[in-house]
Every structure is written in structure tokens, then in C-alpha cells.
Amino acid sequence: MTQDKKLRLKQIAADIKQNNVCPDLAVTATNLVLGDGNSNADIVFIGEAPGKNEDLRGLPFVGAAGKFLNEMLASIGLDRDDVYITNIVKYRPPNNRDPLPEEKEAFWPYLVQQIEVIEPKVIVTLGRHSMEYFLPDQKISQIHGEPKRISFGEKKVVILPLYHPAAALYNRGMRQTLIEDFGKIPAIIKKINQDKS
């Protein structure tokens, strides 16, 4: 089953290349950054787009923001192999500019496929770029840290909108808020498991 999920994720990466998604970004990027971690995870984290380090290594969140994310995972007893980490846009935008609406739009169907393969219980959006696709017309400053249960295709999934770790790195207040919001993850998972049984 897990092996099958890994193969299906590999196929999504192959499809992105085959379908020539965002050709301008593909030309300037070193690697396609599909995702990293456990294809059977209960929790999927979704950031914005790869940065320089991610582009070079072909893995999401391996720079400074990733180090902070790893620390927060450790603080709740998890590591990267327990979760799945990805971005809405899979190629690095030049000079780390914000992803364009049409770039997010172009990659959205592939993110949906990733989620359909992994079937997580919780989707943690990191920053507003991924939040706006799951919780449109909301302000992250107003809803961060509040889990919301939404319909996703045939299924229900809980979305936890969090601030982006890169934005919180050098902003003390936001950093503290992010750490506190992150700390809610175990209770959210526990509640989902209880509600199911």
C-alpha cells in the first residue's frame, strides 16, 4: 500500500514534467520539488514554493525555515519521516519572488492529487498562499491556529492554518504565536481519532 502510494507520488512528479507545467519556472529551476516525508502520513504540511536550498536539493523546507519547521516538529515528538511536506508551487520562482496566481493555479490539481494519494487527517497550511486555496476569503491573522473541518472531494479533512515559518523566523511575536499554534497539532489528531472510534 505504502509502496503503491510512493509510486503514485512519483507518477505525479512525472506528469508535472510531461505536461510542461509552468515552463518558465521549469527553465530557471534546478529541480522539481514535489515533496518529502511519509506517503502514508496523517499530517501534510503545505508551504509556498521552494527557495534556493530547496531548488538545489530537490527537497522542500531544507533551509532556515525548514530548520525551524524541524524544531517545531521535534517539539511535538515528530520528525520529517512522520509527516509529508510539500508546497503549492513545485518550482522555485526566480529570486524568491512570491508565486504568481497563475502558477498556484497551474500546480493546484497536482497538489490535490498528492492529497488524494496520501489521505491525511490534517492539512497544515504554512502561510497565506496555501491557506487561500483551502480557506478562501479568510485572513491568516484572524484564523491562524484554528482548525477547520472542510469537505475535500468525497472526504472531510481538517485544515490548520499557520503562519509561515520564514515569516516568523525574525519576528518574535509571530514566532511565539506559530510555536503555540503548532503545539495544538497533537490534540487535533487525538480528537479526530476519538471522533472516529
Do 158 and 48 meet the contact criterion of CB atoms below 8 Å apart?
Answer: no
Distance of CA 116 to the CA centre of its chain: 14
How far is residue 162's CA from residue 124's CA, in Å, rounded to a whole number?
Answer: 7
Contact between 103 and ligand URA by CB under 6 A: the answer reads: no
Three-class secondary structure of residue 125 per DSSP? strand
- Where would I find the beta strands (DSSP E) of the chain? 36-37, 43-47, 84-87, 122-126, 148-152, 155-162
Task: Name which position in 32, 160, 166, 178 contacts ligand URA (CB under 6 A).
Answer: 166
Span near ligand URA by CB under 6 A; candidates 5-13, 54-62, 171-179, 183-191 = 54-62
CB 187 within 8 A of CB 83: no
Least separation, in Å, of the C-beta of 49 and ligand URA?
Answer: 6
Residue 96 CA to chain centroid, in angstroms?
17
Binder of ligand URA out of 37, 51, 99, 147 (CB under 6 A): 51
- Least distance between ligand URA and beta carbon 187 (Å): 25
Span from 43-51, 106-114, 143-151, 154-162 in contact with ligand URA (CB under 6 A): 43-51
What 3-state DSSP class applies to 148? strand
Please answer whether residues 11 and 88 qualify as being in contact, where contact means their C-beta atoms are separated by less than 8 angstroms.
no
Residue of 38, 43, 54, 135 interacting with ligand URA (CB under 6 A):
54
Residue of the chain from 35, 50, 99, 147 that contacts ligand URA (CB under 6 A)? 50
Stretch that binds ligand URA, among 50-58, 108-116, 146-154, 184-192 (CB under 6 A): 50-58
Q: Is 60 in the site for ligand URA (CB under 6 A)?
A: yes
If the CB atoms of residues 42 and 55 are measured against ligand URA, the closer one turns out to be 55
Whether residue 76 contacts residue 25, with contact meaning beta carbons closer than 8 Å, is answered with: no
**Which residues of the shown chain bind ligand URA in the complex (CB under 6 A)?**
47-51, 54, 60-61, 63, 65, 87, 166
